[in-house]
Amino acid sequence: MKNIFIYLFSLALCFSVSLNAQRNILQDHFKNNLQKDEITRSYVTPVKIVWQSDHQDNQIKNSEVLLTKFDGQLSTSGEGMCMLKSDEQKEASILLDFGNELYGGIEIAAAIRGDKSPVRIRVRLGESVSEAMSNTGDNSVPGMNSATNDHSLRDFTLELPWLGTVEIGNSGFRFVRIDLLDKGVDLPIRSVRAISRYRDIPYLGSFRSSDERLNKIWETGAYTVHLNMQDYLWDGIKRDRLVWVGDMHPEVMTINSVFGDNEVVKKSLDFARDTTPLPGWMNGISSYSLWWVIIHRDHYLHQGDLNYLRQQQSYLKRLIPQITARISAGKENLDGGRFLDWPTSENPEVIHSGLQALTLMTMEAGEDIATWLNDPELQKLCSETVESLRKHTPADHDNKQAAALLALADLMPLNRASSVILKEGANDFATFYGYYMLEALAKAGKYQEGMNIISDYWGAMLDLGATTFWENFDYSERTKAARIDQLTPADMFDIHADGGDHCYIGLRGSLCHGWASGPTSWLTAHVLGIKVIEPGSRVIQIRPNLGDLAFAEGTFPTPYGIVKVKHVKQADGKVKSEIKAPKEVKIIK
């Protein structure tokens, strides 16, 4: 009997050990397949009901409850709910405003009701009121046929459960429209919350001046880029949720000024490199491979990570000769997609002028990088190519994009460049290359003029209800346009539905595009006057340019800590500055 007991115990023990081993294998497999989400999510309550289909308590009752905070827990009580009911004559519909552009989805909490059958609804997300009210691909209403589900679904139907919540959608939006599709049913809803997805990182950089409009523009540019810092550094959160390398340059400069070193930059640059085997061009566009080199120069100058820069050396030593092989007698002849920005995309002469300047700027960046990497062979190639490229100076064609790049490359007189850029003020400015136009104005000493353009052009987007900056903005359309946060009157221009061109026609256009953030880094660099001189921000020059401002102050992130500056204009017009910096950072004036 004792032997039988021992046998059974041993068998049970072996079985237990086997189960534990299997369990450990499964647990290890599960752990090995886990991927940590770098992104934080938070709930946002709507701030306003923009529109609803009924105000007579027939189809919609108690809609104001949707503007109250919800803790996420439904109860068996059906009291105090927003009630929707559609019939054959009228559909119950409501349009909510969350107050700011955000990236993420929505959570809908459906309360208890008598019938346990699922209820069908339609959800439309919109960066503008017009987009949220549109039909995807609808040709029946002028201007409304450009709404799409490209890259992210923003127009879809779903079923709501009995006494439960549903989470759905990932897109860029501010407005949500909900329609009850099923007829003759009561749908009680406790809450419609946005699920905001973002990197939970501090704003280390800051800017404040005597001009509140400039302050708001700085903050809006920073927020625009912050929303695009998702798993990778995207260009837009509704459409173009991709790593577009050229578009990254203004974003990276904003990140350097606001957030300091962030992993999303390196991750995105490496993604572009690893998905572009040579002799390919990044995103199929030759200029975007040029921007990749320039971004690395500017990133290292600010952050000083030499080990990371060394990881690019092998690729650079093959990419740079690929570029130089497409230069003949000092003239660029790049193949692949020949592109600067969309407003110049149909003008090959302007594109050549810009690419000539951009190729020169790339070779100068390559020369800097080669010096830091102690690579005399690469340095010599870049230096000789710079000398060759300076032998060919194309015309500016009275074009602001071309003039900006030619001026930044020292290929045209600064007074000529500034006169082209300032012609008719903010007209013909662009959200992407507007940054380089501003940089050229600063190089010419036109700081107040640059601030005026920022206030006029980027400020006009704020006047039209923007909470993030747009992929495209035609300044001439501002005076006839309605705000994006209201229903467009019949006698006014719909800036979202009726505007746009090229790939961003109408409602397909993105109203949160990181390439439009240029004023943020510009104001830090040229009004606060903060310029990094040596890699890793070890030496920073501070020379403020207040123009008409009474004061300007702010902070700037470095690998060693925060630099704080405050500039105040005195009665005699001179500027008194207070500067505090980490001991590792040398300040020169």
The string of DSSP letters for 138-170 reads --SSTT-TT---SSS--EEEEEEPTTEEEEEEE
Helix or strand run (H / E) with residue 240: none
**pLDDT digit string (tens) for 161-211?**
999 999 998 999 999 999 999 999 999 999 999 999 999 999 999 999 999
**pLDDT digit string (tens) for 62-107?**
999 999 999 999 999 999 999 999 998 899 999 999 999 999 999 9
Of 18, 36, 113, 432, the closest CA to residue 250 belongs to 432
Whether residue 471 is predicted with pLDDT greater than 70 in this model: the reply is yes
DSSP character at residue 537: G
Q: Are 495 and 479 in contact (CB under 8 A)?
A: no
DSSP character at residue 125: E
Residue 105's DSSP bridge partners are 195
Architecture in CATH for domain 40-198: Sandwich (2.60)
CATH class belonging to 206-471+510-569 = mainly alpha
What span, in angstroms and rounded, lies between the C-alpha atoms of 399 and 348? Answer: 12
pLDDT at 231: 95
Q: Where in the chain is the domain with CATH 1.50.10.10?
A: 206-471+510-569
End-to-end C-alpha distance for the chain, whole angstroms: 95
**pLDDT digit string (tens) for 335-345?**
999 999 999 99
At residue 545, the 3 state secondary structure works out as coil
Q: Please, is 568 exposed, middle or buried when counting C-beta atoms within 10 Å of its C-beta (0-12, 13-18, 19+)?
A: middle
Of 573, 545, 533, the closest CA to residue 563 belongs to 533
Q: How confident is the model at residue 144 (pLDDT cuts 50, 70, 90)?
A: low
pLDDT at 240: 85
Q: Are 447 and 428 in contact (CB under 8 A)?
A: no
Cα Rg, the chain, nearest whole Å: 28
Whether residue 145 is predicted with pLDDT greater than 70 in this model: the reply is no
What span, in angstroms and rounded, lies between the C-alpha atoms of 248 and 244? Answer: 6
pLDDT at 139: 45
Q: What is the overall mean pLDDT for the chain?
A: 94
Of 458, 498, 467, the closest CA to residue 485 belongs to 467
Question: For the chain, what percent of residues have pLDDT higher than 90?
Answer: 88
pLDDT at 8: 55
pLDDT at 248: 98
Helix or strand run (H / E) with residue 97: strand 93-110
**pLDDT digit string (tens) for 46-57?**
999 999 999 999
pLDDT at 140: 47
Whether residue 141 is predicted with pLDDT greater than 70 in this model: the reply is no
Q: Are 151 and 239 in contact (CB under 8 A)?
A: yes
The torsion region of residue 69 among left (phi > 0), alpha (psi -120 to 50) and beta comes to: beta
Whether residue 147 is predicted with pLDDT greater than 90 in this model: the reply is no
pTM of the model: 0.94
Q: Where in the chain is the domain with CATH 2.60.120.260?
A: 40-198
Distances (CA, A) of 508 to 35, 229, 496, 517, 547: 32, 21, 9, 20, 38
